[in-house]
Every structure is written in structure tokens, then in C-alpha cells.
Amino acid sequence: MKWLLGLAFTSACFSQALIRIDQPQAPPAWALLERELLKQSSLACDRFSGKYLDSRGYLAHTPRWGTLDGPDDAIETFHNWTLLHALGGSDSVLTAYKKALEGHLLQYKELRTVKTKLAEQGAYHKEFITQSDWFHTGEGMRGFMFLGLSEPESPSLRLRMKRFAGLYMNEDPEAPNYDAKHKIIRSIWNGSKGPMLRKATTYDWVGDAVPGTFHLLHGKQGRGGMVNLESVYEKMLAHCAEYLDSVGDHPLNLAATGLATNAYMLTGEKKYKDWVLEYVGAWKQRTDANGGNIPTNIGLNGQVGGEYGGKWYKGTYGWNFTIYDGEIDQMAHRNTFDAGAWPGFGNAFLLSKGDAGFVATLRKQMENLDSQKKIVEGKTLLPTGFGDPRGYKYTGGKEEWYNWAPDRFANRRTEIYLWSMDAKDREKLPADGWLKFLDGKDPGFPERALRQDLEHVRAQTQAIEQDDTSADTRLADYLLGLNPAATDALTKLTMGAYLTGNIWTLHARVRYFDPVRRRSGLPEDVAALVENFTSDTVSVRLVNVNQLEAREVAVQAGAYGEHRVVSATVGGKTVAVNGPVLRVKLAAGAGDRITLRLERYVNEPSLAQPWSRE
């Protein structure tokens, strides 16, 4: 193998440390599968957008307000398209997402409601949802939050991200969402029209019953049959009958920190970082003082449980949110304490350059649950609720842990481990294909995962082709189920990143750029496999599957350049790098393993691409 490292300039006109890999090899199966998945997933997205987006970017469905099948579901249809492009998907995927986003904002701005004022003049005001909860707002904004991975220089993206972040920093007098004195977001319902400081109504949650017969996916209807919406409308309202308490802060609101985090990484303006650390820091202090349990209500007085006489576990979507769901005619447990907390604390961990205290708070929450475990018929069960087991609307019963179930927080434990890289955190995780692969115990995982995602693309494309519904029989969540983009295996295998839940922040060991075309993602014909990593190393195998032409790739340490590459080892030889980016020139058909020694979380995170870091 021939190799060379030094500072050099190429046709890309930017300088970074450079390694050349000249040793050819037969392309491994995983590399060919990666390239095929990027290709087929991109083509499938082209087919989806060609069928379901019109010339304006409007989604072919019947728009309506609500959290069951409303605006957040419509744009969530494209939730991982910007991620697909940032991984190396086609430019057409990014173009289609931006077309869908602009069309979505216009289409739902035209919406009008009668039974709720939240959308009486449209679902969006200043291009942001008027009022909603961040469980749903976060679902709808995943694609937008990752748009900066591909277009950090976009003026419209910068303008919007700054404006949206400002909604939670009291920069817009129409939206006093944040109480700077008490360091709270004042309601679980918030947005461009400010906080909801009253009880919500079921119509706020469900919206109007638009006339027509639809393929309803919520409740017991399923994808197959068509149902007149008005005939099940009362059931939909019954679904949200107990979702009415709104006043005070909730851990879901921690997801709003994604806006300021992105604004900081786009602009470098310190005020955004300061706000994230202030707001998440206040949540950390209250959680630590609450014995490590994340409270699900902070009162307008800034006190834990302030709207419920000090009961930290109360509130909509809280620890004690055990309700009777009239839509499905049964009791339901819907505690979402982790959905916004993990992304929010992860943002603070990133912006604080790896302050371990943020991870320690999340770890303590898991330890509190573990301390209550029960062994039933040889199975370990953990509680998922706390308070009065009879449910949310009762306040006179005994306060206790309840609703034991198999551990549903393995995904959150995985995030804790990947942030801390503490061996003790790894011991708490169950057997997992990807983690076992990283441990060297499941070598077949990459091919298996890639083939599974290729099957997803095939099945979704077939469903798209066979779909004979019309726009007037589809609500937003119908098309959400037809999204063909497959990104899970690629995210894990190429970047060493892990995304879970419905609200995302990207934490990656490495990310890739095409220095020739000057765009994000793996260059054409290049495949990458993160084979293992430790607290200060990551080993990546890079392959050029093109047997005729050389390729060049820029490898960045961290999703946002937050890590520093100290050195790179190739073929047993180690050379110094001392920067966030390493350039690799791959000869035709060449490939090899590169082991990077890292210093994690030493750089300010930035969405700047390598050629803009000069």
C-alpha cells in the first residue's frame, strides 16, 4: 500500500491533511450494498415526490388541523430526506424536500378552522406552527433540523432558524414563550403565537371534522378501509379528552433547543449557545434536586410541580398520564418524559463541549427506574409511571411507581453510553446487532442491516406504485406510511451515529463530504464502514467501488466537527493530523482501514463544510 500525508491543495481548492490509499481490492459486499441502498433509496424518493407532490410542492392529500393527522404529519412524511442527502443520497432528494417544505408552508397557511382558533388564519404564522406541543412539533421538524447538514450557507435557512430560535428567546413580542426569570417555557402548547396559558380544548388537539371518506390510520381503522371522518369524529375527540392541562413547562419543550443549537452552528452567535445552556441547565438543576427524576410539570412560579401543588409527576404526557382513551375504549399510559429530555440534554452536552454532568443526570434517571425493578416469571420489569395508579385525573391516591413492563428505554441507555463511552454504561445494554458488531461479535450485521433496508425500499416503492387512492381520500398520516427513504443502517454503519425516537439530534463519530462536488455526503462510488470506536478512537474502512476512476472524500470528526483528529493510522503507520477534517484520496478500486485517534468535544460545533473552515 502506498500512502502519503501532508498539507496539499487539489482541484477542490481547500487544504486539509491528506492520505492516499492506492492498494486495490475486490469491493466487499457491504460496500456494494451501501452504494446500492443510496441509489435505490434516492430513486424511490423521486418516485414518491413525482406521484404525491404537485408543481407547487403541495402534498396530494386533504389538509386539516390536528395532532392525529395534521400539519406535523404532512411534513414528517419527508422526515429523513435531508439526512439521506447528507449521507450521500442524490441531489434530487434534497431538491424535492425543499420543494415539499415550501409547498407545505403555503398549503397549511391556507388552512382555516372553525372549532379552534389555533388555525383560524392558517396553521403557520411567520412560517412556524401557531401553537402545538413539541412531541408533534418535533416530529414535523426533523427534516428541517437536518437541512443545515447539506446547505449551511442557505440565506433562507439561516433566516428561518434564527427567527424560529428567537421565538423561544423572547425576540418576538408576539411569542413570549420563555420566562427568563424562572428559565421556563411557559406552556406545553407554544409556537409563533406564544404560549397557551389556558386549558386546551379537544378541538385544539383534533381540529374540525372535514367532510369526506378517508383511509383513517389512527384508532382501529387500519390502512385498508375507508371511513367517513364525521362518523368517527367524536371518537377522535374522546382520544384527547384528558389532554387539556397546558400551563407550565414540560420536558417535551427541551426539544425546542434544537432550533437555537442549529442557529448557533449556522451563525456562531453566542447568544444561542448561552440560551440552550441556561434553559437545559435549569432543567438539570431541578431534576437533580428532585432526586434525579425528570419532572413533567414546572409551574409558572418556576417550581417543580408548581401547577399541581408540588406533584412533580403530574401533567399532560407526564409520569402519571394514565388516561381513558375514548377512541380505543381502554386505559392508556402515555408518559413522554424522555422524548424531549434526551435530545435537549444532548444538545447541551454538545454545546458545552462534553460536560459530563448533563449525561449524569440522564443516567441517574435510569438508575432510579432500575432500583424499582421486579422479576416476574424470570423477566425483568421496570415501572413506566409514577403517581396514583388510577390515572391522571385522580389526585387523592397513593403515590407510587406503577405499570411495570419490559425495559422500553434501551434506546435511551444506548445514547447515554455513546455519549459517555463509559464501560459501566455499556454493561447495562442488552444484546444488539449493531453494538455487537462494534464489539466484534456480529460480523454479519452490516450486510444484514443493509439488505433489510433495501427490502424496505422495495416494499415501499411497490406500495407507492399500487396505491390507487386519491388526494380527497387521504389525510396526512396516510402518506407518512409510504415514505421510502431508508437511513437507519446507513446512519449507524457509515457515521457511527444512532438516532432514536421521534425527535432527533445527530451525534456521529464521523461525517463525510465530497470535496470535488463540494457537497455533503459520501462521494459517488465511495463506501464507508465504522468498524469500532472507543472513547478516543474510531476505525473506518473506506472503499472506492469504482474500478476505473479515483475518488476523494473528506472525513470529519463528529457530525459538526466537534471532535479533533489527533492522528491517523493506515497500514500500521501513524501520522499527525491535528484538525477536525482528514482528506483521503482513493485510487481506482482501492480501500483500507483508517484508525483515527480523537479528542472528543474540543471544538465548537459548526455546520460549516470543510472548504469553509479554511
Residues in the chain: 614
pLDDT of residue 14: 57
| CA distance to 508, 544, 550, per residue, from 592 (Å) | 21, 10, 14
| CA distance to 45, 181, 227, 527, 534, per residue, from 93 (Å) | 6, 43, 33, 19, 33
CA distance 399 to 157: 47
**77, 72, 48: which is closest to 135 by C-alpha?**
72
Considering all CA atoms of the chain, what is the largest pairwise distance in Å, rounded to the nearest integer? Answer: 75
CA distance 456 to 450: 10
Query: Residue 207: exposed, middle, or buried by beta-carbon count in 10 A (0-12, 13-18, 19+)?
Result: buried
pLDDT at residue 48 greater than cutoff 50: yes
pLDDT at residue 4 greater than cutoff 80: no
CA distance 529 to 540: 5
pLDDT of residue 3: 40
Instruction: Judge whether 173 and 536 are in contact, CB under 8 Å.
Output: no
Mean pLDDT, residues 181-205: 98
pLDDT of residue 613: 81
Tell me the pLDDT band of 394, cut-offs 50, 70 and 90.
Answer: low
CA distance 316 to 577: 50
Q: What is the mean pLDDT of the chain?
A: 94
What digits encode the pLDDT tens for the residues 396-416? Answer: 778 999 999 999 999 999 999
pLDDT at residue 6 greater than cutoff 80: no
Please give the domain boundaries of the chain with CATH numbers for all domains: 5-24+509-612 (2.60.40), 32-486 (1.50.10)
| 16-21 and 581-586 beta bridge pairing | parallel
| CA distance to 81, 238, 469, 470, per residue, from 465 (Å) | 20, 35, 11, 13
What digits encode the pLDDT tens for the residues 456-489? Answer: 999 999 999 999 999 999 999 999 999 999 999 9
Instruction: Judge whether 499 and 485 are in contact, CB under 8 Å.
Output: no
- Beta carbons within 8 Å of 325's beta carbon, 6+ residues apart: 238, 239, 331, 332
pLDDT of residue 7: 35
Tell me the pLDDT band of 10, cut-offs 50, 70 and 90.
Answer: very low
In the numeric block, the cell 477534517 is attached to 581
Mean pLDDT, residues 320-343: 92
pLDDT of residue 398: 83
Q: How far is CA 278 from the centre of its chain?
A: 22
Mean pLDDT, residues 102-126: 98
Lowest mean pLDDT among 95-109, 213-227, 490-504, 558-572: 213-227
Mean pLDDT, residues 203-209: 97
Instruction: Judge whether 330 and 324 are in contact, CB under 8 Å.
Output: yes
Judged by DSSP in three states, 153 sits in: coil
Mean pLDDT, residues 512-539: 98
What is the chain's Cα-based Rg? 24
Q: What share of the chain is helix, strand, coil (3-state, %, to 5)?
A: 40, 20, 45
Tell me the pLDDT band of 395, cut-offs 50, 70 and 90.
Answer: low
